[in-house]
Structure 1
Amino acid sequence: MKKLVSVKDVCFGYENELVLKNVNLDIYEGDYLGIVGPNGSGKSTLIKIMLNILKPSKGSIEMFGKNIDDFRDWGKIGYVRQKATSFNTGFPATVEEIVAANLFSRIGIFKPITRSHREMVYKALEIVEMEKFNRKLIGNLSGGQQQKVFIARALVNSPEILFLDEPTVGIDLDSQREFYGLMEKLNKEMHITIVMVSHDIGVITEKVNRFACMGDSRLICHTNNSHLEITDILKEVYGDKMNLLIHRH
């Protein structure tokens, strides 16, 4: 199986606070990886290090076999940041413009959007079933609709791997159900590798095929093939009183 991302002995901290300590993690083609852990355990920090947004104090990251500092093919990577849907209702950009903005890394910021680029935007919006909203202002959409637009934005370059940071925060239950259905489609039908930070342990451990549990500056990674095994690992991080409840979406 093709290795897409390799995290080797990564450490990271702020002044005297150690956030990540000797973290090792490999992500393979076809993975649907959920990253869970207590607040402040470094989940979002780990994703940002993998995306070269933050630099580790120690260790290395490889992306598609290249050191992250030498990696240039960022069209292979999609990213939906935390709180991406926090938009002012008066924000003056259309759905189409939001999605097209992610093409600038490919075509250049000062070059015009061509017909073929618009077709790429439309295709991405079709995947998330938002093509009929392409002329709507992003700020006038619901949280769930905005989230779909930002997923389309991440998909417009046809990435091989998609990173999402707390993607279900601020959206209603119906939108969450649609979201997890979309993630399953992207992973199983479109063969996109997914890496997702989530606070919703009861759902994420049911949906993913691998999961990483963070706590005490470290990371434990196991396949999602045993409910009892997952419960034991999570209790190690959260404490003996923690019980894993599976919520059906």
Structure 2
Amino acid sequence: DMADLEKQLQDAVAKGTRHRIIVTDGSFSMDGTIAQLDKICDLADKYQSLVMIDECHSMGFLGKTGRGTHEYRDVMGRVDIITGTLGKALGGAMGGFTSGRKEIIEILRQRSRPYLFSNTLAPAIVGASLRVLELLTESTALRDQLEENTKYFREQMTAAGFDIAPGEHPIVPVMLYEAKLAQEFAAKMLDEGIYVVGFYYPVVPQGKARIRVQLSAAHTRAQLDKAIGAFQKVGHELGTVKNLVAAATAPTGPQVVQNTP
């Protein structure tokens, strides 16, 4: 809500605040929506504010070269602080990072208590993450494959009649709205050899239960078809789709598509 954000900034200016900072997720983990960073940066310039984004669900695959939301929204160089994790697309099991101008990082090193009293990461985790950064720099093949998989899955699921918000993010929420239905749907999907997780209140707003699908560059077309076919079959059994594709056309086979965190 850019109008509300501008009002908050105007109120902050009216109160005579010396420092202002806009903090947002780059991509929102439960919906797969992408922040309007271009508009946010315009407001930050207008009201002399810093911009900080969390890129845990963006770094490594959003943008033409996988640099994240700031590349996707064409605001490279306009974001002051970027935080992210090594535990998702960057391949590590734990850890994260904060990046920004030298002056900002020096302040954090001197004053940030969580940093001052933390332990260093294991060398193996650092090495794995550095290698992932090298791979992302050398080629966009994995990023491109993920983009292709995401587009295909979204198009096929929408055509099958499932309620999926338009978007390009590989986090794809299949909206079911009722918590009990989401649990039952996930259980039946497992019976079909597909592991998915149902999310419902309090993880998401009440009445907004969904199956959250997380696509991977490693998924093959056959695996995606198997998953889509299972969604169609279970959707038919539970009456959750708007335009049902005949179950007879669904792919068959014993494959399992893993829905990884």
TM over 0.5: no
Of Structure 1 and Structure 2, the greater strand share is in: 1
Which structure: larger Rg?
2
Q: TM-score range by the shorter chain?
A: under 0.3
Q: TM-score if structure 1 supplies the norm length?
A: 0.28
Identify, as 1 or 2, the structure richer in helix: 2
TM norm structure 2 = 0.27
